[in-house]
Amino acid sequence: MAATRPVALVTGASSGIGKETASAFAAAGFEVIGTARNTARATAPAGVTYLDLDVT
């Protein structure tokens, strides 16, 4: 059985605390999925994959 990296889902990952949290998880070796209302305007940190998600 192959080892897999742990996965982290971070909401609000396009700015502020969410962006820093996503970056920290990526630096710690996690596969990171970051969500934001409009990811087209944001630049994902290294190791973070952005997905659009609006929970309103």
Residue 55 confidence (pLDDT)? 79
Residue 47 confidence (pLDDT)? 93
Task: Specify whether the CB–CB gap between 48 and 34 falls below 8 A.
Answer: yes
Gap between the Cα atoms of 7 and 18, Å rounded: 15
Task: Specify whether the CB–CB gap between 35 and 50 falls below 8 A.
Answer: yes
Q: Where are the chain's structural domains?
A: 7-52
Q: How does pLDDT run across 13-42, given as a tens digit for each residue?
A: 999 999 999 999 999 999 999 999 988 888
Gap between the Cα atoms of 18 and 24, Å rounded: 10
